[in-house]
Amino acid sequence: MMTLKVNGAEHAVVSRPDTPLLYVLRNELNVMTPKFGCGLAQCGACSVLLDGKEIRSCITPIVAIGDKEITTVDGLPGRWAKQRGLSPEEAARQLHPVQEAWIEEQVPQCGICQFGMMIKVTELLEHIPSPTDAEIKTALTTSGPSPHLCRCGSYAAILDGVHEAARLMSRGGTK
Amino acid sequence: MSDAKVISIHGAALSRRGFLAAGGALIVATAFRPSLAWAANRTSLDATAPASWIEIHADNTVLIRTGKCDFGQSSIYTAYRQIVAEELGMPLTAMTTVISGDTDRTPDGGGTFGLLRTNVLNLRKAAAYTREAVLTLAEQKLGVPRADLTIKDGVIAGSGKSATYGELVGGQSLELTIPVSGELTGFGGLTVTGNPPLKPASEYTIVGQPFKNPSVRPKISGETPWVGDIKLPGMLHARPIHPTTLGSKLLSVGKIDKAQFPAAKLVVIGNLVAVVSPDEWEAVQAAQQVATGTRWTAWRGLPGHENLFDHLQNKVDWSAIPVRNGRGNKGDTAVALAKSARILKATYHLPYLKHAPIGPTVSLADVKTDGSVTLHTHSQNPQYLRFLLAKMLGTSQAEVVVRTYPGPGHFGRSNGGNAGSEDEAVLLSRELGVPVRVQWMRSDDMQWSTQSSASISEISIALDDNGRIAAYEAAHRGPPMQDDRPIGAILAGLPTIDPPRPANPDGVHAAEMNVADAWVYGEVPHVHERGFGAIQIGQLESPIGVGLRDHSMRTPIQFQQNFPREVAISEAAAMAGIDPIQFRLDHVSDARFRAILTRLRSEAGWETRPAPASGHKATGKRAVRGQGVSIMLRDNGYWACACHVAVTPATGNVKVERLTIVVDTGIVVNPLQLKRQVQAGCLMGISQALHEEVSFDERAITAVDWASYPILTMAEVPDINVVLAPWPDSGIYGQGSESANALAAPAIAAAFFDATGRPARRFPFRPDYVKAMLAS
């Protein structure tokens, strides 16, 4: 039996060590925001943060995780609250600024890719608080194992969303 | 109103079924015809009655039900709320709930397409009937004549008296039965009939406002369950093992090493092979193991994508399907062509395209021993899927319930019910007696789903002595893109509807090639457009009747016909030596096109001059630049698009640097959502134009993943300027979720010609094809 640290809590898991993290999160831990897109690390729908770095959970066996901290979109509000030292009451009232920006800018079309997009953008904004369009495009195209793909074509909305998220984060997360 | 009395409301029937101590509601239900008697049994006076269309509750909240689903258009959560609120005269915030898709909880059926074109008229009319019924109630309760009553913000008032919607329905169980036509589980579902008075567009206050989509927050927070997230106790995970070719039958099945995969189990139903396991990863691995050892018959019945256009031009029997004529046909093109000294005659090709949802199709079926079937899936036409499943199982439609959830956008693939996994899940659940979740892998979704048809168009344009178009001829040819047969049923050898062919009862499956691209150049005196359909490629040759199955995809058929027309018009403008926007202005007859073309010219930073550009070049390492334009009329929407591209001849690289699009959808219901739809549609269109083509050999589709079927990436996103140019006097809503994706390709092709002087009569603009075009 192995232990995984997911969104601030430790979980003992019974899945076999070669099982990709995606299947363990979804089927054993009921963490459903990482989505199955390709199983080949080609699209980014399954992205999660591993100690703050974006990885593809569909090809990462749990044996390779060790004691690193996994963050999914479900855990973004808690991650933000911890980073900002928010009280539980304050934390309960808000989502992560990236999520709030995605809502404010009405980024999703169907939305299936956005869980991975928000993970990648969170990674980006934790390193570059106010990125340019070029930096955003690089982050979502060439910085990871593959581009983060959106079939609906929400890329222009994503650019707006990242700039809004950067603005919100610079103001401490509120409008 | 006495209990027994029924009041006619413009042909709908208002009745009071009883008085209640608490609560109360007005339920707007469907007048069921005898053929739907079994469905009528599901109705009740309960406020959550599944057949209701609209429910007005005593607390002034309104529930809306629609058989349509959301695939990212947002319309059912935004525009539908706005339109119902507007017709009722209630605030948008009162529209608290939208229930969509589920066959046991929605009243109308039909496909999720034309959401703001035809489909919304159902809800709009239902709301209008409802408002009239409530006005009748108010007349009685307040004792004020109907003519003296007005409605504002949910309050009906007149002669100093007033009541809210909630007060008028409170304490009663009221039912309003509205007339409909059609079949609940037919392709088109039910249509509300009659003519209740509709609120004039000039009085709109809610339609036209930029409301946010309330379904976004729960999606983004992770609260919303997606189709792939649904779990049932005892559920097994399944992975199908599809044949190695599109014409293979099963010879022998591979084995599962039980020591390695102890819980995995093999299921074989005819040519349908699957592995199930309570552990999803075990199912994935065991299925790979079984696939390795499974033997299929050999088959070679496809032309291969490299020979596709030769095949379409020379080998397809275009006489098997009746020819369709364009609605704009007029005059005598043959005479005009014979007289002209300047003629453009060219052939244009479009490849097969994939809907290519980011998530492969997934469904969860629960078939009980009593024969009841519940399918959890996402579908653009759940009631028609219900019909298909009942047909496959040989059971009553009353036994089948389809529940729907958000899922990956797949742009029309399931508008005839199924996207691929649904029937496989049902068959496996029936076989095993437990709930079964079928998740296709990426390669299944690329190789075993339907695709948007390839097409070939021959265009002839004759210019007169003044450089104006004297005649336009088009012959559009292609397979008809509407195969709604569930693939699992085909593989299992169970009943399905017929493949597309003339004998099909439903016109949409008759294999005819409609001339779908509305003719817009009204000043052209002689026009002759024809559409030639065909049987799907490889289908008759395939021993299992599969071959390349086609299906409509975003802006279907019009996408395939607008590309050749608009590229040819741009080429004709060059032949005439006239600026391509001006050339279009010279030939359109509709003031709305003149308005958006004029607007486009200023918004796009357009250089008014003939193409090609003076510095055009087809060789060299330096990028050359060009501008191109395209226009389209679809679903009451007028569209004009300009693309600015850079072509590097030596590398064959084509980059879209700027896209400007002007859209007039008549009445804009929600400008915020429309803008996002149009932006995204444009980007999908650029993706199709630059990258997309389904590769296949003689046996199978060889595009299996995102490497072999690349789509647009973030890095390629150009500057996009979306200009909304409404025309409110049209009195009609146009749509934005389609069309936008079709404008980019012809504008890019025209810009390519402008930059290089070489015509581009096909896409994608991949380096190898581009180099070939430049060398020709």
* Averaged pLDDT in 10-residue chunks for chain B of 776 residues: 75 88 82 47 38 90 94 93 97 96 90 83 94 96 97 97 96 90 90 94 95 97 98 98 98 98 98 98 98 98 98 95 97 96 97 98 97 96 97 94 96 96 98 98 98 98 97 96 97 97 92 96 98 97 98 97 98 98 98 98 98 97 98 95 98 98 96 97 98 98 98 98 95 86 98 98 98 94
Q: Which of A155, A158, A162 to mutate to test the interface with B (most CBs of B within 10 A)?
A: A155
CB pairs below 8 Å between A and B: how many?
165
Residue B741 near residue B688, CB atoms below 8 Å: yes
Q: Which of B77, B229, B358, B713 to mutate to test the interface with A (most CBs of A within 10 A)?
A: B358
Helices (H), B146-303: 165-169, 216-221, 280-293
With an 8 Å Cβ cutoff, is B216 touching chain A? yes
Give B5: exposed, middle or buried? Use CB within 10 Å, 0-12, 13-18, 19+. exposed
Q: Do B219 and A108 touch (CB under 8 A)?
A: yes
- HSE-CB of B245 using CA atoms within 13 angstroms: 24
* Terminal alpha carbon distance of chain B: 80
Give B14: exposed, middle or buried? Use CB within 10 Å, 0-12, 13-18, 19+. buried
**What domains, with CATH codes, occur in chain A?**
2-73 (3.10.20.30), 76-170 (1.10.150.120)
Dist CA A174 CA A152 (whole Å): 29
Dist CA A124 CA B724 (whole Å): 33
Dist CA B662 CA B643 (whole Å): 12
Dist CA B10 CA B130 (whole Å): 10
Q: Which residues pair with B653 in a beta bridge?
A: B648
Q: Which residues pair with B366 in a beta bridge?
A: B374
Dist CA B32 CA B43 (whole Å): 10
Q: Which of A152, A158, A162 to mutate to test the interface with B (most CBs of B within 10 A)?
A: A152
Dihedral (C-alpha) A55, A58, A59, A61: value to the nearest 10 degrees?
90
DSSP class per residue in B133-177: HHHHHHHHHH---GGG-EEETTEEEETTEEEEHHHHHTTEEEEEE
Q: Do A112 and B221 touch (CB under 8 A)?
A: no
With an 8 Å Cβ cutoff, is B712 touching chain A? yes
pTM for the full predicted model: 0.97
Dist CA B720 CA B659 (whole Å): 5
Partner-chain residue, chosen from B358, B679, B684, that has the shortest CB–CB distance to A43: B358
Closest Cα of chain B to A169: distance in Å?
17
For residue B252, which amino acid is it? S
* Terminal alpha carbon distance of chain A: 44
Within 8 A of B219 by CB-CB distance, chain A residues are: 108, 111, 114
Q: Which residue has the tokens 């006495």?
A: B2
CA-closest candidate to residue B511, choices B541, B484, B545, B544? B484
Within 8 A of A80 by CB-CB distance, chain B residues are: none
Q: Do B676 and A26 touch (CB under 8 A)?
A: no
Q: Do B225 and A32 touch (CB under 8 A)?
A: yes
Q: Report pLDDT for B33.
A: 46
Q: Do A118 and B220 touch (CB under 8 A)?
A: yes
- Domain boundaries of chain B, sorted by first residue: 6-219, 227-299+361-439, 578-775
Q: Do B707 and A141 touch (CB under 8 A)?
A: no
CA-closest candidate to residue B98, choices B71, B70, B118? B70
C-alpha of A143 from chain center:
15
Residue B407 near residue B48, CB atoms below 8 Å: no
Angle between helices B120-142 and B79-88 (to 10 degrees): 30
- ipTM rounded to 2 decimals: 0.97
With an 8 Å Cβ cutoff, is A27 touching chain B? yes
Q: For residue A33, what is the nearest residue in chain B, using CA coordinates?
A: B222
Q: Do B357 and A112 touch (CB under 8 A)?
A: yes
With an 8 Å Cβ cutoff, is A158 touching chain B? yes
Closest Cα of chain B to A119: distance in Å?
12
Please report the residues numbered 83 through 122 in chain A whose beta carbons come closer than 8 angstroms to any beta carbon of chain B: 95, 99, 102-103, 106-115, 118
Dist CA B151 CA B148 (whole Å): 10
For residue B644, which amino acid is it? H
What are the strands of the beta sheet with B272-277, ordered from one edge? B265-269, B272-277, B236-240, B436-439, B362-367, B373-377, B400-404
CA-closest candidate to residue B255, choices B289, B225, B221? B289
Closest Cα of chain B to A172: distance in Å?
19
CA-closest candidate to residue B7, choices B150, B174, B247? B174
Q: Comparing B227-299+361-439 with B578-775, is the CATH topology the same?
A: yes
Q: Which of A13, A109, A117, A160 to mutate to test the interface with B (most CBs of B within 10 A)?
A: A109
**DSSP 3-state percent helix, strand, coil across chain A (nearest 5):** 45, 15, 45
Residue B702 near residue B693, CB atoms below 8 Å: no
Q: Report pLDDT for B50.
A: 53
Q: Report pLDDT for B1.
A: 52
Closest Cα of chain A to B230: distance in Å?
10
With an 8 Å Cβ cutoff, is B681 touching chain A? yes
With an 8 Å Cβ cutoff, is A47 touching chain B? no
Q: For residue A140, what is the nearest residue in chain B, using CA coordinates?
A: B714
- Which option is the CATH number for B6-219: 3.40.50.720, 3.30.365.10, 3.40.950.10, 3.40.50.10190? 3.30.365.10
Within 8 A of A103 by CB-CB distance, chain B residues are: 212, 216-217, 220
pLDDT in tens, A78-134: 999 999 999 888 888 889 999 999 999 999 999 999 999 999 999 999 999 999 999
Partner-chain residue, chosen from A38, A137, A146, that has the shortest CB–CB distance to B717: A137
With an 8 Å Cβ cutoff, is B220 touching chain A? yes
Within 8 A of A154 by CB-CB distance, chain B residues are: 676, 680, 683
Dist CA A147 CA B490 (whole Å): 36
Q: Do B220 and A108 touch (CB under 8 A)?
A: yes
Residue A12 near residue B416, CB atoms below 8 Å: no
Within 8 A of A147 by CB-CB distance, chain B residues are: 713-715
- Which option is the CATH number for B578-775: 3.30.365.10, 3.40.250.10, 3.40.190.10, 3.40.50.2300? 3.30.365.10
Q: Do A35 and B226 touch (CB under 8 A)?
A: yes
Residue B76 near residue B95, CB atoms below 8 Å: no
Residues with Cβ within 8 Å of residue B118, at least 6 apart in sequence: none
Q: Do B717 and A156 touch (CB under 8 A)?
A: yes
For domain B227-299+361-439, give the fold.
Aldehyde Oxidoreductase; domain 4 (3.30.365)
CA-closest candidate to residue B425, choices B591, B238, B179? B238
Q: B722 by DSSP, 3-state: which?
A: strand
Q: Which of A15, A76, A102, A112 to mutate to test the interface with B (most CBs of B within 10 A)?
A: A112
